[in-house]
A and B are shown apart, each in its own frame.
Chain A
Amino acid sequence: AQSVTQLGSHVSVSEGALVLLRCNYSSSVPPYLFWYVQYPNQGLQLLLKYTSAATLVKGINGFEAEFKKSETSFHLTKPSAHMSDAAEYFCAVSAYTGGFKTIFGAGTRLFVKA
């Protein structure tokens, strides 16, 4: 079974400040981990993914995430927030058990203040 916990339903940062969105997961089999971003009235866009290669994963738009197995975490960071980063972010875990199943976290809405 899989589960995902995103800490903080809302995060507010100033433009230029560090963005840190937290995600903890559990999975009974080796997982694939993802971060997605969703803008209003749109689908999900993949930011980055972890698939058992490098533990530090770089994604689009300057985002990166570090897989820490001992802490079962996959936190998303960006050194300097931009106004255009304001959106909802979802952490997800996929696992193969005869077929793929993806579980999403509840989402974190990021606000960026000028």
Chain B
Amino acid sequence: KAGVTQTPRYLIKTRGQQVTLSCSPISGHRSVSWYQQTPGQGLQFLFEYFSETQRNKGNFPGRFSGRQFSNSRSEMNVSTLELGDSALYLCASSQTTGGSYEQYFGPGTRLTVT
């Protein structure tokens, strides 16, 4: 099976702009989670989607939003970009089988805000 793919891999934006990142999960996985990784704050949970519904959300401002499509692909959007939004954004797809839970991570999108 193909792994989790994220596009684009690298992105440079200017303060005040908005950005959309895309994630394609492993075939058959219905859950997608997003994380922000920065040197200062580490890995932080953004949100989790399952069957097009947001099931869980981290402590991020409303500028961060996401959605999931019927084919389980997911997008996250950040509006009014700030310098502090510069980070590696990781997407993970997951499945729960027989009481076991496991996430598979994509390579990430490196966002630089100037």
Show the binding face of A for B, using Cβ within 8 Å.
32, 34, 36, 41-46, 49, 51-52, 90, 92, 94, 96-107
Contact = CB atoms under 8 A, between A and B. Distances in A.
A104 B88 CA distance: 15
Given A42-B107, A43-B90, A43-B107, A102 B55 contact: no
Chain A's interface: helix, strand, loop or mixed, by majority?
Answer: strand
A94 B94 CA distance: 12
B104 A104 contact: no
Contacts of B103: 34, 46, 94, 102
A15 B106 CA distance: 30
Interface residues of B, number: 28
Given A43-B90, A43-B106, A43-B108, A101 B58 contact: yes
